[in-house]
Amino acid sequence: MYPDSARPTGRGVGPVSSVIIWVLFLVSLLLPGAASGRIYIDVNAPSIPKFKIAIPDFRDLSKDRSHPELAAGLPGVISGDLDLSGYFRPLDKEGFLDENGVALTSEGINFRDWSVIGAELLLTGGYTCIGSRLEVEIRLFDVFWGRQIVGKRALGKISGLRHLMHRLSNEIIKSLTGHDGISLTKLAFVGNATGKREIYVCDYDGYGVKPLTRDRSIAILPRWSPDGKKIVYNSYKQGGPMLYLRDLSTGSVRRLSGRSGLNIGACWAPDGSKMALTMSHKGNPDIFTIDLRGRILEQLVDHWGIDVSPAFSPDGKRMAFVSNRSGSPQIYLLDMTSKTVERLTYDGRYNTSPSWSSRNIIAFASMKEGRSDICTIDPSGGRLRRLTHNEGNNEAPCWSPGGRYIMFTSNRSGAYHIYLMNANGQNQRRITSGKGEQTSPSWAPE
């Protein structure tokens, strides 16, 4: 009936919690504090200008020079992370003036050359490979002042270089914004690359896709637990849409709710002790809570209308959900204590898929003029904002752990894929690619 409850998808992923064999450390390298530089990014500003950053190839400091491909590969990962953050604009390397490679420290850098091409920030780096191990050192400079503002060193394995570079990207973003980056987060989604809809997981940037289910049926609506160790989802592998729980550390799967009728759209309570979902074993689709054994705790909504898509507030005291009790699907808020219900959305004839951020903002999909767009609204009903405009259908929003980014599904390029944008709607980028379609994203907590 509703976009978030009906549209499944696919692509392949293995255990989300596959152990990354990393020995990683991050240390400061005798740098002046970030506050001493002139660069600081206010992520709460209504519109954030992008800082132009130059990221030349890293220097290979290894004795045997056995991995020359990392000179471009390592900074390429960081460049992608900084670009996706929406705070930076990496400059094209074709315009760089330094033809002899860039020194690691300020003493060997001609900052004027970088200023001429418009760079405001310069990231230099070097790496050393010893057997299977990789050590990377980076330094970030304010080009105007010629001053180092970030310096980090990290050690890991060559096979896990993307993970290592994501960590360094997060360090840069944390230093300049004061907030954690998203580079190490994970995504679950539905994909149909095999011809069947299965659940997959991947890194936040679409890399490292692995299948989570191999049901050869229809698997939809994955949702991470608050601790990131479990995922619930719906599957038709045993008939109707039953609810399953996957433990990511052990790989075990068990059915949580297989009652007659619907068992769909589960969402976790903030403390992870229970979840809310729509069930219709009594005849009408209403919202209930169940514990982690699948036992019914409470019926939250009892109405003749169709009630779906529950989403808890960050403190667990309220719940957003979708109901057609007013004649068309709209978003309502339930007070978990008093059980009073109030309508939240009035603009638009078809509002679905509420997602409540950690910053207490609700994202949802709203249909107008035959197309669906992503909007946000305060729980009070104020500050309604439309974030996507006239680019296909945009559905199923979900928030990043810190509430500063939104993943969503869009068919703006023809097929459905997953896109990323900042919370203000800026910097919209396609994340997933490959065969088939990808929909119904769920962002893992950090």
The chain-wide mean pLDDT, for the chain, equals 89
Q: Is the dihedral of CA 420, 425, 428, 430 positive or negative?
A: positive
Nearest to 128 by CA among 154, 160, 105: 154
**What's the start-to-end Cα distance of the chain, in Å?**
32
Helix axis angle, 70-85 to 161-177, nearest 10° = 40
Residues in the chain: 446
Phi, psi of 41, rounded to the nearest 5 degrees: -105, 120
Nearest to 246 by CA among 212, 203, 195: 212
Helices (H), 42-160: 70-85, 111-116
Phi, psi of 319, rounded to the nearest 5 degrees: -145, 130
Parallel/antiparallel/unpaired status of strands 88-90 and 210-211:
unpaired
Q: Give the C-alpha separation, 185 to 204, whole Å.
A: 5
Q: Give the C-alpha separation, 342 to 270, whole Å.
A: 21
Q: Is the dihedral of CA 189, 402, 310, 395 positive or negative?
A: negative
- Three-state secondary structure call for residue 231: strand
How does DSSP assign 289-326, residue by residue? EEETT--EEEE----SS-EEEEEE-TTSSEEEEEE-TT
Residue 333 · residue 320 · CB < 8 Å: yes
Phi, psi of 341, rounded to the nearest 5 degrees: -125, 135
Q: Give the C-alpha separation, 393 to 391, whole Å.
A: 7
Parallel/antiparallel/unpaired status of strands 88-90 and 51-54:
parallel
CA distances from 133 to 72, 138, 168, 190, 328 (A): 18, 17, 16, 35, 58
Give the residue carrying structure tokens 């990496």.
90
pLDDT digits (tens, 9 = 90+) for 123-176: 999 999 999 999 999 999 999 999 999 999 999 999 999 999 999 999 999 999
Supply the pLDDT for residue 47: 65
Phi, psi of 119, rounded to the nearest 5 degrees: -70, 135
pTM of the model: 0.88
Supply the pLDDT for residue 434: 82
Tokens at 247, concatenated: 């433990």
Compute the radius of gyration of the chain from its Cα atoms.
23
pLDDT digits (tens, 9 = 90+) for 261-287: 999 999 999 999 999 999 999 989 999
Residue 274 · residue 289 · CB < 8 Å: yes
Supply the pLDDT for residue 163: 96
Supply the pLDDT for residue 39: 58
Q: Give the C-alpha separation, 190 to 211, whole Å.
A: 10
* Average pLDDT, consecutive stretches of 10 residues, N- to C-terminus, the chain (446 residues): 39 34 33 44 70 95 92 97 96 83 83 94 96 96 94 95 97 92 97 96 96 95 96 94 95 94 95 96 94 96 93 97 95 96 94 97 93 97 94 96 96 96 95 94 92
DSSP state of 106: G
Sorted by where each starts, the structural domains of the chain and their CATH numbers stand as 3-15+183-443 (2.120.10.30), 44-177 (3.40.50.10070)
